[in-house]
Amino acid sequence: MKVDGKHFRSIWRERDGWSVGAIDQRRLPHEFVIARLTSCEDAAVAIRDMLVRGAPLIGATAAYGMALAMREDASDAGLQRAYDTLVVARPTAINLKWALDEMRSSLAPVDPVERAEAAYARADEIAEQDVEINRGIADNGLKLIEATAAKKPGDVVNVLTHCNAGWLATVDWGTATAPIYLAHERGIKVHVWVDETRPRNQGASLTAWELGHHGVPHTVIPDNTGGHLMQHGMVDLAIVGTDRVAANGDVCNKIGTYLKALAAHDNGVPFYVALPSPTIDFAVHDGVRDIPIEQRSGVEVTDMTGRTADGRLETVRIVPESSPVANYAFDVTPARLVTGLITERGVLKPDRASLAAAFPERIAVAAK
Ligand SMILES: CSC[C@@H](O)[C@@H](O)C(=O)COP(=O)(O)O
């Protein structure tokens, strides 16, 4: 996607051929800063500290982290050590484990002398595959936006989204935003309601920044606004991303997604989830019960950072010093509240049979 006319992906191999460039997402929307990752530890810290975030990008970063690790120590022990370091960086997005499993199984049979080269090649493939998958999601989700547009000729299609499931959260295009970008490119009038997404404000900081740079009309709303908009016919459809979809179609995504799905259900607003197939976890049968929910530092809740009028970044506390806080980073929306899963292989019903029929090769892997 473009930033000030220049094409960027969220992660790439630098010109030196071995170090890895990534946009430091903690600094957006205030500053556009590129970070250079030069070790497996750098990649693990980038994921843990959310320099990079978003399920597919976490997976791609982990893949490059393995490649960086193979430059340092390509032995069997080194391979396992890199896997163990990266796999615990964040617990909820299953793309992390998916990418590491892919890397480990393709590298294990390779002679250690050739492992570093093979690791970069496989990491590049994982990144390219993400872009291709998201293009598939764009095509399949576009049909839903087109169908909505056809019902209100000349009118704007209003899409509500939560968190950032845009190109910054993937390698390119995004998942939830991919159909929106394509619809915009095709001349369909779309407008996006962007949930601010407390506590880290990925909607206000990242989705709004992305959409703005791409010229897509949008409005940032406080997280509590969606229900009101839906009651008044101001949302045609909701499209969100996901960090893990269980075999039964339950969807884990950024905290607050469940509440939006409830409001959508109550108001007859279609609620779609866009997902690349690596986000499906066939090993988890009941998402509400079994998907691990990351709990993050309370500082994300108590403190807010922003730019002052004279251009300084300032962090202020907004909660009384003595009040305890809780920071659950994700929640799970039961499949019964999801209208459809927008995947690279079509829009699926959120149930075991549909997921299994569309992605049989993933079941075999989960069963191993
Ligand atoms: C295509 S990204 C889908 C999800 O990863 C996204 O909606 C989300 O919840 C991101 O959470 P984050 O905590 O910012 O990594």
CATH assignment of the domain containing 13: 1.20.120.420
**What confidence score (pLDDT) does residue 368 get?**
67
Q: Is 217 in the same domain as 327?
A: yes
Tell me the pairing of strands 280-281 and 244-246. Answer: parallel
Residues 108 and 149 in one domain: no
Report CA(113)–ligand 1 centroid distance (Å): 36
- Answer whether residue 211 shows pLDDT above 80: yes
Ligand 1 atom having least distance to the Cα of 275: 1
Q: Are residues 57 and 179 in the same domain?
A: no
User: What percentage of the chain exceeds 70 in pLDDT?
Assistant: 99
Are 283 and 354 members of one domain?
Answer: yes
Report whether 53 belongs to an annotated binding site: yes
- Select which of 172, 223, 243, 331 is catalytic: 243
Domain boundary among 129, 152, 180: 129
Q: Is the pLDDT of residue 219 over 70?
A: yes
Shared-domain flag, residues 104 and 164: no
What is the tens place of the pLDDT at every residue in 293-345?
999 999 999 999 999 999 999 999 999 999 999 999 999 999 999 999 999 99
Note the ipTM here.
0.98
Burial 164-194 (b: 16+ CB within 10 A, else e): bbbbbbbbbbbbbbbbbbbbbeeebebbbbb
Q: Is the pLDDT score of 200 beyond 80?
A: yes
Asked which of 69, 98, 129 is the last residue of a domain, the reply is 129
Last residue of a domain, one of 96, 129, 162: 129
Check pLDDT > 90 for residue 153: yes
The residue type of 31 is: E
- CA–CA gap between residue 314 and residue 305 (Å, rounded): 5
The verdict on 154 and 272 lying in the same domain is yes
Q: Are residues 72 and 170 in the same domain?
A: no
Total domain count, the chain = 2
> What is the structure's pLDDT at 202?
98
Distance CA 275, CA 240 (A): 9
Closest CA to 97 of 357, 361, 292, 273: 292
Residue 124 falls in the annotated catalytic set: no
Same domain, 314 and 228: yes
Quote the percentage of the chain above a pLDDT of 90: 96
Q: What is the CATH number of the domain that holds 182?
A: 3.40.50.10470
pLDDT digits (tens, 9 = 90+) for 240-293: 999 999 999 999 999 999 999 999 999 999 999 999 999 999 999 999 999 999
pLDDT in tens, 30-76: 999 999 999 999 999 999 999 999 999 999 999 999 999 999 999 99
188 and 282 together in one domain: yes
- Residue 134's pLDDT band (cuts 50, 70, 90): very high
Q: Are residues 109 and 216 in the same domain?
A: no
Q: Which ligand 1 atom minimizes the distance to the CA of 241? A: 3
Q: What is the residue-averaged pLDDT of the chain?
A: 97
Q: Is 92 in the pocket of ligand 1 (CB under 6 A)?
A: no
Does the pLDDT of residue 29 top 90, yes or no?
yes
Domain that holds residue 73: 2-129
Q: Is residue 365 over pLDDT 80?
A: no
| Domain match, 27 and 118 both | yes
